[in-house]
A and B are shown apart, each in its own frame.
Chain A
Amino acid sequence: MALDPMTHERELETIDFNINIGPQHPATHGVFRMVLVVDGEEVVDLVPHIGYMHRGAEKLSEFMDYRQAIGYQDRTEYLAQFNAEMTYVQAVEKLAGIEPPERSQYIRIILAELNRISSHFMFLGAFGVDLGIIGTSFMYAFREREHILDLFEEITGDRLMYAYFRPGGVAWDVPRNFKERVRWVCEQALIGADDLDKLLTDNEIFIARTLGIGRLSIEDAINYGATGPVLRASGLKFDLRRDEPYSIYDRFDFEIPVGKNGDSYDRYLVRLAEIHQSVRIVLQALDQLPEGPILPERLPRLLRPAPGEIYMRCENPRGEYGIYLVSRGTTQPYRLRIRSSCFANLSALKHMTIGHYVADAVTILGSIDIVLCEVDR
Chain B
Amino acid sequence: MIGVLKSLGLTMSTMLRKPVTIQYPSAHRSVPERDRAFPILLWDFEIDESFCTGCHACERACPVECMTVTMMDNPKFAEGKSKRRKILDEFFIDYARCMRCNICVEVCNFDAIAMNNTWAGHELSVVDRKDLVMDREQLLALSKTRQIRPWVPS
Binding site for B on A (CB under 8 A): 64, 67-71, 136, 139-140, 143, 146, 150, 153-158, 161, 163, 171-172, 175, 195, 198-207
- Residues of chain B with a CB closer than 8 A to A143's CB: 20
Residue in B6, B34, B63 whose CB lies within 8 Å of A198: B6
Chain A nearest CB, measured from B111 CB (Å): 14
Q: Is B4 an interface residue (CB 8 A)?
A: yes
CA distance in complex: A67, B102 (Å): 11
Q: 9 tightest A-B contacts by CB? A: A202-B3, A157-B36, A68-B63, A172-B153, A157-B34, A154-B32, A198-B10, A163-B101, A203-B3
Interface of chain A: mostly helix, strand, loop or mixed: helix
- Residues of chain A with a CB closer than 8 A to B32's CB: 150, 153-154, 157
CA distance in complex: A69, B103 (Å): 11
Judge whether A71 and B99 touch: CB under 8 Å.
Answer: yes
Q: Is B61 an interface residue (CB 8 A)?
A: yes
Q: Known A171-B106, A172-B154; judge A156-B10 contact (CB<8 A).
A: no
Q: Known A154-B34, A158-B36, A204-B3; judge A195-B10 contact (CB<8 A).
A: yes
Q: Known A157-B115, A198-B6; judge A204-B99 contact (CB<8 A).
A: no
- Residues of chain A with a CB closer than 8 A to B14's CB: 140, 195
CA distance in complex: A154, B151 (Å): 12
Residue of B nearest to A200 (CB): B7
Chain B nearest CB, measured from A359 CB (Å): 20
Chain B nearest CB, measured from A272 CB (Å): 15
Judge whether A156 and B36 touch: CB under 8 Å.
Answer: yes
CA distance in complex: A274, B34 (Å): 30
Judge whether B100 and A158 touch: CB under 8 Å.
Answer: yes
CA distance in complex: A206, B6 (Å): 13
Interchain residue pairs with CB less than 8 A apart (6) = A155-B34, A158-B100, A161-B101, A198-B10, A202-B7, A203-B4
CA distance in complex: A127, B61 (Å): 41
Judge whether A68 and B101 touch: CB under 8 Å.
Answer: yes
Chain A nearest CB, measured from B63 CB (Å): 4
Binary A-proximity of B31-47 (CB < 8 A = 1, otherwise 0): 11111100000000000
Residue of B nearest to A206 (CB): B3
- Residues of chain A with a CB closer than 8 A to B31's CB: 153
Judge whether B63 and A71 touch: CB under 8 Å.
Answer: yes
Chain B nearest CB, measured from A107 CB (Å): 14
- Residues of chain A with a CB closer than 8 A to B61's CB: 68
For the complex with contacts A68-B103, A171-B106, 20 further pairs of A-B residues with Cβ separation under 8 Å are: A67-B103, A68-B61, A69-B63, A71-B63, A71-B99, A71-B101, A143-B20, A153-B32, A153-B35, A154-B32, A154-B34, A156-B34, A157-B34, A163-B101, A171-B102, A198-B6, A199-B11, A202-B2, A203-B6, A207-B3
- Residues of chain B with a CB closer than 8 A to A155's CB: 34
Residue of A nearest to B99 (CB): A71
CA distance in complex: A205, B6 (Å): 12
CA distance in complex: A195, B11 (Å): 9
Judge whether A204 and B1 touch: CB under 8 Å.
Answer: yes
Residue of B nearest to A61 (CB): B63
